[in-house]
Amino acid sequence: MNKRIFDFVAALLGVLVLAPLFVAVAIWIKLDSRGPVFFRQRRVGKDGIPFNIIKFRTMVDDEHESLLTIGNDKRITRAGAFLRRHKLDEFPQLLNVIAGSMSLVGPRPEVPRYVDCYPPEVRSQVLSVAPGITDWASIYYKEENSLLSRSSNPEQAYLDNILPAKLKYNLRYVQERSFWNDIRIIFTTLAMLVR
C-alpha cells in the first residue's frame, strides 16, 4: 500500500511538472509524421493481467509492427530517434502508474509472446509484482537495440541471451525489493538519463 501511494503521488507530480514538455513533444510528433501522438501496446502486468502500455510514438504509423526495434530501424522517425535516445518516449508511462497498471520501479512488462517463454517458476515470481517504468535490467541493457543489431537473427538473440539475463535481474528485484531499493534504482536511472 505504501508503495502504491508513493507511486501515485510521485507519478502525479511528475505529470504536472512535465506537462509543458509533454505538450511540446506531442506537437513535435504531430509535425514530424502522420499518426497519433501516443503508441499503445499490449503488455502482461501483475498476476498475468494484460494492459496497454503508453509511450510517445517514435515510429511511422503505417508500417507493420514488429515486437523488437533493431539498431537504426528505418521505421523510426526523426523525432522518434531523439525521444528514444533520451528515453523521453517512456514518460507517458507515468499515466500507467497513476492508473495502477504499472509502478515506478519493477520488472519491465513484456509482450505476451515473450512472457510465454518464461520458465513457469520464474513467471510466477516476476508477475507477482507490478511491472515498472525502470529496473536494473533497463539500466544494464539500455543499449539493447544496438546489441540486437549485431545479430543475424535478433529475435533469437533476444530469447537466448538478453531475455534470460533480464529475468535474472527481475528475480533479484522481486527477492530484494524494498522502498530504499526502489529509491536507489530511481536515482540510478535519473543519473543515467542526465549522463
Instruction: Give the separation between CA 105 and CA 103, rounded to whole angstroms.
Output: 5
What pLDDT does 95 receive? Answer: 97
Please state the φ and ψ torsions of residue 13, each to the nearest 5 degrees. -65, -40
| Residue 167 C-alpha from the chain's centroid | 15
Span 23-43, average pLDDT: 95
Worst-scoring range by mean pLDDT, 116-130, 144-158, 176-190?
144-158
pTM of the model: 0.89
Q: What are the residue ranges spanned by the domains of the chain? A: 2-194
